[in-house]
Every structure is written in structure tokens, then in C-alpha cells.
Amino acid sequence: MKVLAGKTAIVTGASRGIGRAIAIHLAREGANVLLTARDTALLGSAVKEILDAGGQATTFAADLREPEAAPAVVRAAIEAYAGIDILINSAGATKRGEFEELGESDWQDGFALKFFGAVRLTRAAWPHLRERGGSVIHIAGSGGRTPGAQFAIGGSVNAALLSFTKSLAETGLRDGIQVNCVNPGPVRTARLETRLARIAAEQSVSRERALELFLAQEKITRVAEPEEIAALVAFIVGPNGRSLHGSLIDIDGGTTKTI
């Protein structure tokens, strides 16, 4: 039996990487999934994969940095599936770099999508989640606990999401909505592949050696696959994960060194 049969999920950042993997996995578990991101072609490709596998999915292209986008995404989900049970806030990437090289627009862009996009969409979806005793998961990142010099923006944004999760979880107790946050470490996405390619070029080594150097530098066991993050998310929102509430869950190969 598919554990999410009859449920409806919104997944942001669903055109690629972790968000795409989550959308496909939730559909595999029986959920109706609305995928949202900016790239219509990539969204269409993800939905085709879901439909070809016998799942149910639709898309709504939106830029969640725009304040009016969140209510529009929620309306699209209600029109398509008549309710919302699960919201996965997975959109947003932040710029790495030395602090003095990061400008005002870099900081504003970092918060605009990953933090404020999540806040707005959660606010718009909350009444519908309350009706069904639904679930919210924010996909933040290990930098929220252990930021480095190159991750000033990302660490700050992720830390804000961690705090937002704890606050929202208390409201969720009152309204019957499960709220959690998942903190991935390095995950095998296009962005990570770019970093590995840069290491390989700088050190004049192979791609395989670049990965070894990266693991040693980060002091971690391995790089995760997007599907591993997706499987964790599906567990949390499924019937066996309901005891998780207000949890900040690290899945990072040992990236987080702090308590």
C-alpha cells in the first residue's frame, strides 16, 4: 500500500536537485504533487517522469521571490486537488563567497527566495494544512548550525529557517500541523558538481580525486544522493514519522560538528 495515497503535496524548487527528487518520491508513495519552480521545461520533465511511472502530478511555474506568487501556488494546488496535506519548502540557493565580496543584492536575493518564499508559502497554505492536519518541512542545510567563512549568506538564511521552524512548530501544536526542518549536508547536485570541477581544475587532479579531497576538507563520510533526502522527507510526512515535530534533522555525513 502506498503510504501517501490520497494526500496532496506542494514541493518548491521541484525542477532540479533535492526538490525534484522529493517530488518524484512523494508521487511514488501515492501523493498528488504540485511541483513549482521557475523553469517550465525542467518542471515539465519532472512531471513527465512522475506520470510515466503511474503517479499524479501537475506544475505551476512561479518565482517565489515575488509576494503574489505564494497565494497563486496555493490556489493552483486547491484547483487541481481540492486540498493540501504536505508542504515542502525546498526552493532557494545562496551565493558563496568572502564576506567583503558579498553585496547588498546578494544578501537580499539569498533571503528573498529561500526564507521569505518559505514564509509566504507556509502562510498561504496554513489554513488548508490545518483543515487536514497536514505537514510542513523546510529544507534548510547544515550551514545553519555550522557556517563557514564562505557561507555567510547561506548560514544566516538556514539559521533563520531553523528558528522559524521552532516557532512555527509551537503554532502547529495548536493547529494540528506537523512542522520540521531537514538539514542536508553536501548532496550530489549540479551545484556540487561545479564545486568538484573547480577543485579538480585548481589541484590538477581527476574528478574522483577531487571528491576525495572534498570529503577530507569537509571532514565527512560521504556525499548524499538527492534520493536519500527525499526518502527521509517521505518518512517524516508518512504515518510512521508523526512523532517528529519541531525537529531539526541533520542528514549531512557528519558535517555538523556542533551540538
Q: What is the model's pLDDT at position 203?
A: 92
- Tell me, what's the pLDDT at 1? 80
Q: Max CA-CA distance within the chain?
A: 57
Cα Rg of the chain (Å, integer): 18
Determine the Cα–Cα distance for residues 161 and 155; give it in Å rounded to an integer.
10
What is the pLDDT at residue 169? 98
Between CA 131 and CA 138, with CA 132 as vertex, the angle to 5 degrees is 105
Cα(37)–Cα(49) distance, rounded to whole angstroms? 16
Confidence (pLDDT) at 145:
92
Q: CA–CA separation, 111 vs 117, rounded Å?
A: 8
For the chain, strand residue ranges (E) read 8-12, 32-37, 56-61, 86-89, 135-139, 178-184, 248-251
Pairwise CA distance, residues 117 & 66, whole Å: 8
Contact between 195 and 207 under an 8 Å Cβ cutoff? The reply is no
For position 259, what pLDDT does the model report? 81
Are residues 26 and 234 in contact, defined by beta-carbon separation less than 8 angstroms? yes
Q: pLDDT digit of tens for each residue in the chain (259 aa)? A: 899 999 999 999 999 999 999 999 999 999 999 999 999 999 999 999 999 999 999 999 999 999 999 999 999 999 999 999 999 999 998 999 999 999 999 999 999 999 999 999 999 999 999 999 999 999 999 999 988 899 999 999 999 999 999 999 999 999 999 999 999 999 999 889 999 999 999 999 999 999 999 999 999 999 999 999 999 999 999 999 999 999 999 999 999 988 8
Pairing of strands 32-37, 8-12: parallel
**C-alpha span between 230 and 256 (Å, rounded):** 20
pLDDT for residue 78: 98
**Which residues have a Cβ under 8 Å from the Cβ of 57 and sit 6 or more positions away?**
23, 27, 32, 33, 34, 35, 46, 47, 50, 51
